[in-house]
Amino acid sequence: MTNAKIPHAQVPSVALITGASRGLGAALAEALAPTHHIVAVARTIGGLEELDDRIKAKGGEATLAPMDVTDAGAMQHLCRSVFDRWGSVALWAHTAIHAAPLAPAPMINDKDWSKSIEGNLNTTHRLITYVAPLLGQSGTALFFDDPLPGSKFSAAYGASKAAQISLARAWFEETKRTGPRVMIHTPAPMPTALRARFYPGEDRGKLADPHAEAAAILATL
pLDDT in tens, 28-49: 999 999 999 999 999 999 999 9
pLDDT in tens, 92-116: 999 999 999 989 999 999 999 999 9
Question: Both ends of the chain: CA-CA distance in Å?
Answer: 29
pLDDT in tens, 47-85: 999 999 999 998 999 999 999 999 999 999 999 999 999
Pick the CATH number of 11-215 from 3.40.50.720, 3.40.50.150, 3.40.630.40, 3.20.20.10: 3.40.50.720
Sketch the domain layout of the chain as residue ranges.
Answer: 11-215
| pTM attached to this predicted model | 0.92
